[in-house]
Amino acid sequence: MSEASGHSSGSEHVVPVSTYVGVFLALIGLTALTTGVAYIDLGRWNTVAALAIAVIKMLLVVLFFMHVKYSTGLTRIAILAGFFWLLIMITLTLSDELTRGWEIVSHGWSVMIPVVLRLL
Partner 1 sequence: MSTAIADLHETPADLGVNYLNANYGIRSWLLTKDHKRIGLLYLATITLMFFVGGTAAVLMRLHLIEPQGALFEPETYNKLFSTHGIIMVFFFLVPSIPATLGNFLIPLMIGARDVAFPKLNLMSWYIFITGCGFALYATLSGGVDTGWTFYPPYSSSFSHTHVVAVALGVFIAGFSSILTGLNFIVTIHKMRAPGMTWFRLPLFIWALYATSLIFVLGTPVIAITLFLLGLERILHVGIFDPAVGGDPLLFQHLFWFYSHPAVYIMILPGMGVISELITAFSRKKIFGYTFVAFSSLAIAIISFVVWGHHMFVTGQSIYAGLVFSVLSFLVAIPSAIKVFNWTATLYKGSISYEAPMLYALGFIGLFTIGGLTGLFLASLATDVHLNGTYFIVAHFHYIMVGGAVMAYMGGIHFWWPKITGRLYPDYWARVAAALIFIGFNLTFFPQFVLGYLGMPRRYAVYPAEFQVLNVMSSAGASILGIGYVIPLIYLTWSMRYGRAAGPNPWRAKGLEWTIPSPPPTENFEEIPIVTEEAYNYPTSGVASV
Partner 2 sequence: MSELAAHSAHPPGFAHQFETVAQQREAGKLGMWVFLVTEILFFGGMFTAYTVYRSLHLQAFITGSHLLEVKFGATNTAVLIVSSLTMAMAIRSAQTGKRKGQTIWWLILTMLLGATFLFLKFRFEWYHDYVDGIVPGVSWSYHGPYAPGAELFMCFYFFMTGLHALHMIVGIGILTVLTVMTARNKFSPQYYAPLEISGLYWHFVDIVWIFLFPLLYLIGGRYPGS
Q: Which span (18-26, 27-35, 48-56, 88-96) binds partner 1, by CB under 8 A?
A: 88-96
> CA-to-CA distance for 99 and 33, rounded, in angstroms?
35
Asked whether the beta carbons of 46 and 37 are under 8 A apart, the reply is: yes
CA dihedral (102, 106, 109, 114) positive or negative: negative
Asked whether the beta carbons of 13 and 67 are under 8 A apart, the reply is: yes
What residue 1 binds from partner 1, partner 2, none (CB within 5 to 8 A, per partner kind)? partner 2
Binding residues vs partner 2 (CB under 8 A)? 1-3, 6-12, 14-15, 17, 20-21, 23-24, 27-28, 31, 34-35, 38-42, 46-47, 50-51, 53-54, 57-58, 61-62, 65-66, 71, 74-75, 78-79, 81-83, 85-86, 89-90, 93-94, 97-98
